[in-house]
Structure 1
Amino acid sequence: MTTPFTKKLWLLLLLLPLMASTVLAQQLPGIASKTAGMKKYPGYFTFYLDEANGKIWLEVDKLNKEFLYVNSLPAGLGSNDIGLDRGQLDGERVVYFSKQGPKIMLVQPNLSYRASTDNQNEKRAVEESFAQSIIWGFKAEAAEGEKVLVDATDFLLRDAHNVIGSIRRTKQGTYRLDPSRSALYLPRTKNFAKNTEFEATLTFTGGDDAGRFVYEVAPDVQALTLRQHHSFIELPDNNYTPRVLDPRAGFFGITYFDFATPVGDDIEKRFIARHRLQKKNPSAAVSEPVKPIVYYIDNGAPEPIRSALLEGARWWNQAFEAAGYKNAFRAEILPDTADPMDIRYNMIQWVHRSTRGWSYGSSVTDPRTGEIIKGHVTLGSLRVRQDYLIAEGLLAPYKEGKPASDEMMTMALARIRQLSAHELGHTLGLQHNYAASVNNRASVMDYPHPLVQLSNNGQIDLANAYDTGIGEWDKVAVTYGYQDFPEGTNEKSALDNILQNSINSGLQFITDRDSRATGGAHPQAHLWDNGPDAPEELKHVLEVRKQALQNFSEENIKEGMPYALLEDVLVPIYNYHRYQTEATAKLVGGVNYTYALRGDEQTITEPLDKKTQQKALDALLATLQPDVLTVPEHIIKLIPPRPPGFRTTRELFNKRTGLTFDPLAAAEASADFTVSMLLHPERTARLVELQARGNSLGLNEVVDQLVKNTFKAPRKDGLASQVQQQTEQVVLTHLIALANNEGTSYGARAEANLALNNLNDYLNRQTRRMGDSPYKAHLVYAMKRIENPEMAPVKLPEHKELAPGAPIGSGAELGCE
């Protein structure tokens, strides 16, 4: 029963916030008087510049109203290894201002846990069950009605991007923010109707323990100055309709737990990430959009690269045309007056680093719905130079008295077009598709290795190195994500038909987790591979490599350059087969599978048959042969130590010989690469399991053939003999490691131990038949390692590793390459 007293009490409770605002306003000066003489920036959140004191005063007029907060790094450090790149986004957060007494709190609600219901008590129960985050607390300094003025300077001058943490995490030094050398950066501090933009110059000092990555890029390691950007953005309206995520469709997305879900349904909700795109006429088979998607190319990219980036980006219009749109996607050069960090511009940004590194396709996405608000691509500028270097190694183009061929630049620009399209695809919402290479390069969302051919007379041909245009899978994915269906369409059924037709046509989609692991099992998903038959392509790649090494000469560098630079060109050619080797290894102990749904009639799981696995094993064993691993003598003689002014870099072979070129270390690293994948703990466990289940290659057979092709192979002479013996020690290292690896199965360890016992017996018999020789010394050392794997100095050694490979040219994520 409601009494008059109860009514008065409820009225008092409702009036308390208004009374508190009135009291606060009466106690504080007015905004106009507080900001007198300051420059006013009207816009989404009006702010004032107190230039004399270097302060920004923010007018908070939207209490308890959610908006999007994004911080980013417009001016970076320049080190791929540390990862603080120009243009790097740091995620998006839905936030709101809340007044709590004299304080104004910037609150981030927890959108990972929700209750989609009109029942406010049910919503409150979820909100109170999980933590929120207060990002910052401001003090109210002036007021005017419902508006409050706060000093935002400290908020803007803090290390919002966690530069200090990134440097510390990579063990590159201990730094602190120096306020005396930090200030607001006014050229990029602006206001617009729907977004407010702030930028600050921040200096981090310290560096007494700075690492070499910092030394590589900083003019003074004791003072690192970067810029950080803050964006307050109006959230999109409620007219966007989220699209349900299907694991077969190839999209990123958002996920959250919805506690208002009926008990019998999945509590975790999944929606794809995509731009808002609508047809003017959804009933038409082809229609112009209400508003097109427009991307801008960094005007700081030089020609002819800028035009290649533009052309590759524009390929995506082919996919939108296939989805029934006309002129729905555009790419333009960024106007000089535009700010790349402005939320209104989808960007492809050209970024420089001291070393080659990944490129990224990221985005600002509405966490509530999955709607992409801004696509932002970061492309590493050294990519084009690495691809050019690969072409130089393949072609040996610098013949005396003749102009160099333009094939190198043609290939490098072809790769840049593909890279532009690839990273932009991530910002449209698309994941990698690493099975595209088996479908005739059906997607730009794969990582493509140059497809190099040999002519009838053995000449290397780069004409078809990289594909052009959008692939068939990309058209399917865009149609799934962006199709605007006529009213009355059963959207769930229509979307399922799009994917089912794709499946029926033979297209495949397999993404990151199933493709990146060196112990991976999927036979058709890998990075930087080619062709539907991995072992056959590995044979072809080895033939290309062989021809390039035969042709290798002083003509691989320009006249007047130091001979030592031939090593730079040699590294990617000697290691040219590395990715196809990885792809082939996945067939050994391989299992084919799809992201099947019940009822779609896709393959669920299917172990590869023994014949297919044996073909892959044969191809892998070929990479361990001395004639493949031994650097030709004519090349060794051409590479002296580096002269003054030309520093040694990690892009070269790891050496044991000091300054001189080390062909044995190159061979060691390559052999270790193959053996480490063949005897990967996960692969060995699968081999044991699959053999027990039926028609599959067994670990015992793999190890037996590995030993037969190394320790029991006919002896070589000269340098090849040392390569052969070294490879045998590499095999032994991995067998010993496998036998003692508690991370793999008991069966795998048992097989490895038996193999070591048998090998030890064989080595004993061999040593009894010979006098002292380098070969006998090798055998005795191998036996010591088998008998005493834990005893110094015969503990497991660390083998030399390959020079950096991925990214093949220069680029975890929405996506990256």
Structure 2
Amino acid sequence: MSAQVAAQLVPAVGSPSTASVSAAAAFSQHTVGMKKQAGLFDIWTHSEQAKVLMSVAELDKTFLLVTSLPFGLGSNDVGLDRGQVGSSKLVRFERHGKRLFLVQENTRFIANSSNTDERASVREAFAGAVLWAGDILASENNVHLIDFSSFLLADRHGVADSLNRTRQGNYAVDEKRSAVLSQQAKSFPDNTELEALLTLAGAGEGQFVRQVAADAKSLRVHQHVSLIRLPEAYTPRVYHPGSGGIDSERMDFATPLADSIMVQWQLRHRLEKTDPNAAVSTVKKPIVYYLDRGAPEPVRSALLDGARWWGSAFEKAGFKDAYRVELLPEGVDPMDIRYNTIMWVHRATRGWSYGNAVSDPRTGEIIKGAVTLGSQRVRQDILIAESLLAPYGKSTDAEKKNAAEQMALARLRQLSAHEVGHTLGIAHNFAPSRQGNGSVMDYPHPIMGINSKGEPELNNAYGVGVGPWDDFVIKHLYANFPGQDEAQALAALRSEAKAAGLQYVADSDSRSPGAAHPNGLLWDFGADSMKTYDQLMTVRQRALDNFSTAVLPPQRQLGELEARLVPVYLLHRYQTEAVARLIAGVEYEYGLAKDANEGRVKAGTQVVPASTQRQALQKLISSLRAENLALPKNVLDILTPQSEGYSRTPEYFTGRMNVVFDALSAVEAGAAQSSLFLFDAARINRLAWQQSRDAQQLGVSELFKQVFDQTWKRDAVAPKVIAGEAVQLAANWVVLDAVLNLIDGARLHPQVQADVRQSVNELALWLQKNPGKGSTASSRQQAADLIQAYLRNPASVKLRPLPAIPPGAPI
């Protein structure tokens, strides 16, 4: 504040300040006829004025700012879902002259020090941001009145950025077609909630916006802004990499020189016992989640049931009645930062669900849990179940139809628990599937079997309740340890979990096609990857043999048969990855040096035994053979082009036969699925290194010899396999394309690339010496020519990418 302004606000001794009186008059003049709401920030609104006035009483005092979307876009591919929350920003108001500035602090770089100058040196080293500046309309007793409308009318959530990032074009807010929703403005003691209607104008040429928008050139969304009082008196918990939690990370330049400059706090809700010394106690304020009222039955009950599973874990951690899930009360705004929400969100296509946590960037305390559940996923589950059970036909089999619906609802319960888990501060763990229902934080594949009639069954497709890993994580995140050293108590918890056989493999070690850990698997099931692979292949074959128009509900058009075929034909896709993970696979643990020194964690990696790797290779090669790729006659004879008024979607196989089902494209997708994992550069590099250390291990040359012997070099396919020669040739070409792309990808070590090139060259020589007959002869000659041309001059050959595989996840 300038000295001149400060002097104006100091009243003369013994008489009222005329400056204060005039300021007060000016203050009231700006708010005349407006409704005042007192709260964290006092606000003034008018039913006929699209603006919000706000008073700022404390300059330079930090608070949190969070944006969200009450109205979204409806596109899974773009994001921008209804109910989506943004990240929290630590902000404060500054006064410069006659204007207030809203300044964002850079919380990624700090100095947690009592030395003022040390803290300032870091703050001055990294850029903050000025989010907004506006004129002071009036001031009274150091309280400043501003019109905050222009802040609300700007794209604070990054809608335009999301559209641009997903290649939907350049959009910008059209202020003339945007408005502050003053009737939505609310202020409470610890938070102020504001909202605006934004119209984003653009060319409207993007595929995804045209798919969902009423007018792709004019996108209407609602933007919500929450201003939140900073939480106080919260004790953060140090993050541990073996805990299964989610961390909040920053660089602290004040840490001792021998310590890491990276400081990580565990994300978690505040949960305080009324009796801190009791083993089991009620809490001062329970964690409560509220389900979107837009979720219909029977979905609503399934989501409530699944989300409530976490209650048992909190009970085991010593918290009584500490966690609840309820239906959102009528009239409550789900965007209000005070409510943890589970939103049932509609999109044009199926897509991912999310669990996001708005947190205090200083401590990792979760302010709001925000779950987004995509409504179309449950329809995909029903589609898969119906495709396997075939409940329709001349008359509907009510028992099978009910089994399909019950499987989908069981999946919803698990999904609800899973996404709520993220908002409790829990990361994915993709290892517990080795123990059956080990954790809801895994991605579950429906457990399938064959019943006494020889038909696929799904009666126990998904587990019920949280698993032992989930119980452990809640204890590690939330439990308190009166009279004990917390670090030692948590270390003991981790040791107990390990002794119980609980293993943790996170996202970073599970999603890549070349991932190494054999237990970090998405959408798998079973303790033995190869045994489950055989089980799924049996279910797949029975489902293909039984495939008929009975998989399709009677009101659906015949062209949708292919959409039902896709998940059946590719039923083994995730278990194929599980088998591939055994090849050049290595196990390892997460932990700190202290954990290894004290014997809780073993440093280094353990290579999968050679015999297991060779068995896995044979399983994978079998998936590339015509016997497993060819479709039976009953499938080929009923697949029908799309009816008038319908069209193919990305859920179908790609085709090169116009409207007619392209069986070769399906075969190519199946072969690509296996090749994607088998010929990953990281896996091949590891394979070479493993054999260099242990000559008994599976090596690069052996792998390629086995693959080529059983694909390009194999004997003629038995006549009982429909179109066996054509099917095998289609798979062979995918294999060759994948191998050439592997060589061309510049990710192999030079000596490993030399081994692969040598194997491919030997294949070319064999193909020339063994031309075969008919179509096989043509393909062998072309393949030999392609290989030799590429090896002579890679730039002279345009390589084909792997065929497209229809999406499987999320299931």
The alignment's TM-score, normalised by the length of structure 1, stands at: 0.94
Partner residue in 2 for 1:688: 688
- Given that 2:761 and 2:788 are in contact with CA atoms closer than 8 Å, whether structure 1 keeps it comes out as no
- Given that 2:45 and 2:183 are in contact with CA atoms closer than 8 Å, whether structure 1 keeps it comes out as no
How far apart are residue 520 of structure 1 and its match?
0.4
C-alpha distance 30-654 of structure 1, shift in aligned 2 (>3 A)? same
Partner residue in 2 for 1:555: 550
1:759 corresponds to 2:760: no
- Given that 1:741 and 1:749 are in contact with CA atoms closer than 8 Å, whether structure 2 keeps it comes out as no
How far apart are residue 400 of structure 1 and its match?
1.9
Distance in structure 2 (CA, Å) of the matches to 1:237 and 1:601: 35
1:222-301 pair list within 5 angstroms: 222-238=217-233, 240-301=234-295
Distance in structure 1 (CA, Å) of the matches to 2:285 and 2:50: 40
Q: Larger RCO: Structure 1 or Structure 2 (Cα < 8 Å, ≥ 6 residues apart)? A: 1
State which drifts further: 262-271 or 319-328. Answer: 262-271
1:380 corresponds to 2:374: yes
SS in 1 for 2:88: strand
Distance in structure 2 (CA, Å) of the matches to 1:787 and 1:255: 52
1:16-27 pair list within 5 angstroms: 18-19=6-7
Partner residue in 1 for 2:533: 538
- Given that 1:608 and 1:696 are in contact with CA atoms closer than 8 Å, whether structure 2 keeps it comes out as no
How far apart are residue 781 of structure 1 and its match?
1.1
Partner residue in 2 for 1:603: 602
- Given that 1:443 and 1:472 are in contact with CA atoms closer than 8 Å, whether structure 2 keeps it comes out as yes
How far apart are residue 49 of structure 1 and its match?
2.0
Q: Deviations over 1:143-202 (max 9, x none)?
A: 111111112111101111121121111111232211111112244322212111111111
Matched-pair identity in %: 43
Partner residue in 2 for 1:158: 154
- Residue 274 of structure 1 aligns to which amino acid in structure 2? R
- Given that 1:524 and 1:532 are in contact with CA atoms closer than 8 Å, whether structure 2 keeps it comes out as no
1:58-73 pair list within 5 angstroms: 58-73=54-69
Structure 2, gaps ≥5 residues long? 12-18
How far apart are residue 399 of structure 1 and its match?
3.5
How far apart are residue 27 of structure 1 and its match?
8.9
C-alpha distance 19-713 of structure 1, shift in aligned 2 (>3 A)? farther
Distance in structure 2 (CA, Å) of the matches to 1:20 and 1:614: 86
Partner residue in 2 for 1:812: none
- Residue 618 of structure 1 aligns to which amino acid in structure 2? Q
How far apart are residue 674 of structure 1 and its match?
0.6
Partner residue in 1 for 2:14: none
- Residue 805 of structure 2 aligns to which amino acid in structure 1? L
Distance in structure 2 (CA, Å) of the matches to 1:462 and 1:676: 29
SS in 1 for 2:770: helix
How far apart are residue 712 of structure 1 and its match?
1.5
State which drifts further: 83-92 or 741-750. Answer: 741-750
- Given that 2:353 and 2:419 are in contact with CA atoms closer than 8 Å, whether structure 1 keeps it comes out as yes
- Residue 166 of structure 2 aligns to which amino acid in structure 1? T
1:589 corresponds to 2:592: no
Partner residue in 1 for 2:318: 324
Q: Deviations over 1:11-32 (max 9, x none)?
A: xx99788448669979966311
Q: Deviations over 1:85-104 (max 9, x none)?
A: 11111110111111111121
1:800 corresponds to 2:803: yes
SS in 2 for 1:56: strand
Q: Deviations over 1:774-793 (max 9, x none)?
A: 22111111112112236899
- Residue 581 of structure 1 aligns to which amino acid in structure 2? T
How far apart are residue 227 of structure 1 and its match?
0.6
- Residue 385 of structure 1 aligns to which amino acid in structure 2? R
SS in 1 for 2:248: strand
Distance in structure 1 (CA, Å) of the matches to 2:623 and 2:269: 46
Partner residue in 1 for 2:732: 728
1:572 to 567, 579, 588: 567
- Given that 1:785 and 1:795 are in contact with CA atoms closer than 8 Å, whether structure 2 keeps it comes out as no
SS in 2 for 1:445: coil
- Given that 2:346 and 2:376 are in contact with CA atoms closer than 8 Å, whether structure 1 keeps it comes out as yes
- Given that 2:561 and 2:640 are in contact with CA atoms closer than 8 Å, whether structure 1 keeps it comes out as no
SS in 2 for 1:54: strand
How far apart are residue 51 of structure 1 and its match?
4.9
SS in 1 for 2:723: helix
Distance in structure 1 (CA, Å) of the matches to 2:8 and 2:729: 84
Distance in structure 2 (CA, Å) of the matches to 1:81 and 1:765: 50
Distance in structure 1 (CA, Å) of the matches to 2:312 and 2:81: 31
Distance in structure 1 (CA, Å) of the matches to 2:555 and 2:144: 68
1:279-678 pair list within 5 angstroms: 279-405=273-399, 406-486=402-482, 488-596=483-591, 597-598=595-596, 599-604=598-603, 605-678=605-678
Partner residue in 2 for 1:115: 111
- Residue 755 of structure 2 aligns to which amino acid in structure 1? E
SS in 2 for 1:525: coil
- Residue 586 of structure 1 aligns to which amino acid in structure 2? R
- Residue 781 of structure 1 aligns to which amino acid in structure 2? Q
SS in 1 for 2:89: strand
- Given that 2:455 and 2:543 are in contact with CA atoms closer than 8 Å, whether structure 1 keeps it comes out as no
Distance in structure 1 (CA, Å) of the matches to 2:255 and 2:282: 37
How far apart are residue 566 of structure 1 and its match?
0.9
RMSD (Å), alpha carbons: 1.9
- Given that 2:530 and 2:616 are in contact with CA atoms closer than 8 Å, whether structure 1 keeps it comes out as yes
C-alpha distance 650-187 of structure 1, shift in aligned 2 (>3 A)? farther
- Given that 1:79 and 1:355 are in contact with CA atoms closer than 8 Å, whether structure 2 keeps it comes out as yes
Distance in structure 2 (CA, Å) of the matches to 1:205 and 1:337: 31
State which drifts further: 78-87 or 736-745. Answer: 736-745
Q: Deviations over 1:481-506 (max 9, x none)?
A: 111222x3211111111111111111
1:99 to 95, 98, 103: 95
Distance in structure 2 (CA, Å) of the matches to 1:625 and 1:579: 18
Partner residue in 2 for 1:204: 200
> How many pairs were matched up?
790
Partner residue in 1 for 2:743: 739
- Residue 709 of structure 1 aligns to which amino acid in structure 2? Q
Partner residue in 1 for 2:16: none
How far apart are residue 440 of structure 1 and its match?
2.4
SS in 2 for 1:672: helix
C-alpha distance 100-22 of structure 1, shift in aligned 2 (>3 A)? farther
Distance in structure 2 (CA, Å) of the matches to 1:455 and 1:791: 53
Q: Deviations over 1:538-584 (max 9, x none)?
A: 11111111111111011111235322211111111111111111121
Distance in structure 2 (CA, Å) of the matches to 1:686 and 1:634: 43
C-alpha distance 107-669 of structure 1, shift in aligned 2 (>3 A)? same
Partner residue in 2 for 1:39: 35
- Given that 2:47 and 2:183 are in contact with CA atoms closer than 8 Å, whether structure 1 keeps it comes out as no
- Given that 1:437 and 1:530 are in contact with CA atoms closer than 8 Å, whether structure 2 keeps it comes out as yes
- Residue 602 of structure 2 aligns to which amino acid in structure 1? T
Distance in structure 1 (CA, Å) of the matches to 2:253 and 2:784: 63
Distance in structure 2 (CA, Å) of the matches to 1:176 and 1:775: 57
Distance in structure 2 (CA, Å) of the matches to 1:697 and 1:779: 27
Distance in structure 2 (CA, Å) of the matches to 1:16 and 1:506: 71
1:780 corresponds to 2:781: yes
- Given that 2:430 and 2:506 are in contact with CA atoms closer than 8 Å, whether structure 1 keeps it comes out as yes
State which drifts further: 509-518 or 455-464. Answer: 455-464
How far apart are residue 339 of structure 1 and its match?
0.7
Distance in structure 1 (CA, Å) of the matches to 2:254 and 2:423: 31
Distance in structure 2 (CA, Å) of the matches to 1:20 and 1:116: 38
1:118-129 pair list within 5 angstroms: 118-129=114-125
- Given that 1:736 and 1:752 are in contact with CA atoms closer than 8 Å, whether structure 2 keeps it comes out as no
- Residue 799 of structure 2 aligns to which amino acid in structure 1? L
Distance in structure 2 (CA, Å) of the matches to 1:747 and 1:295: 56
- Given that 1:439 and 1:508 are in contact with CA atoms closer than 8 Å, whether structure 2 keeps it comes out as no
Distance in structure 2 (CA, Å) of the matches to 1:45 and 1:367: 21
C-alpha distance 776-403 of structure 1, shift in aligned 2 (>3 A)? closer
State which drifts further: 455-464 or 695-704. Answer: 455-464
